[in-house]
Amino acid sequence: MNLRLKLVSTLGTVLAAGAIAASPMVASAATGAAALVGATTSLTPVQLVGGSGSYQFSSIACAGTDGVCTASSSGSYVNTVCGTGTADGTVTITAHANFLIHIQFVAGIGVITGPGPSVPPVGVAILVATGVGTPPNCVTSFDVAAAAVIP
C-alpha cells in the first residue's frame, strides 16, 4: 500500500470515529453519519496568498450509517494563505438529499457546518495536497478525508 493511501485511510478511520462520537450532539437534526476519502476532480489552483476559485471532488471510499455510499461535492473557496480559508458548496451522499456546507479551514484542517452562523459543527475535513503548484500557486489537487453527521 502506498504511503498516500495509507495516510488517507488512517485519517478516514480517525474521522469515522469522530463522526460516530459527534452524532449524539446533533442527533435531533441528523439523518445519518458518513466518513469518506476522496480526491479533487476539478480545482482552481489554490494560491500561496489570497485568491478564490472553485472545486469538485468525488469519493474514493465512503461508508455511512446506511452502508457503503458515494459522495461528491462542488462549490467555491476563498483562500487567505495556502490551506487556510473557507469553502462553501453542495454535498451529495447516496440515500440522502443534497445539503449545503460551509467549511472553515486552518492549515488544511476544516470544521464542517451548515450554512449560517448559528449552525453547530457537524464534522471535520482534512486536506492532503497531492499536487504542489509553482508560485503563485500553492496546491493544484488534493485528497480529502472527512466525517460528518448528515443533516
* pLDDT of 129: 96
Give the three cell numbers for residue 88.
Answer: 462553501
pLDDT surpassing 60 at residue 3: no
Q: For the chain, which domains are there?
A: 3-24+34-150 (2.40.128)
pLDDT at 126 over 70: yes
Q: Are 32 and 64 in contact (CB under 8 A)?
A: yes
Instruction: Quick: pLDDT tens for 10-37.
Output: 444 444 444 444 444 444 456 789 999 9
Going by the DSSP 8-state scheme, the letter that residue 95 receives in this structure is T
Cβ atoms of residues 127 and 142 within 8 Å: yes
Question: Which range among 40-49, 96-105, 138-147 shows the weakest confidence by mean pLDDT?
Answer: 96-105
What digits encode the pLDDT tens for the residues 77-113? Answer: 999 999 999 999 999 998 887 889 999 999 999 999 9
Which of 50, 77, 98, 93 is CA-nearest to residue 142?
77
Confidence of residue 143 (pLDDT cuts 50, 70, 90): very high
Q: Please state the pTM of the whole predicted model.
A: 0.80
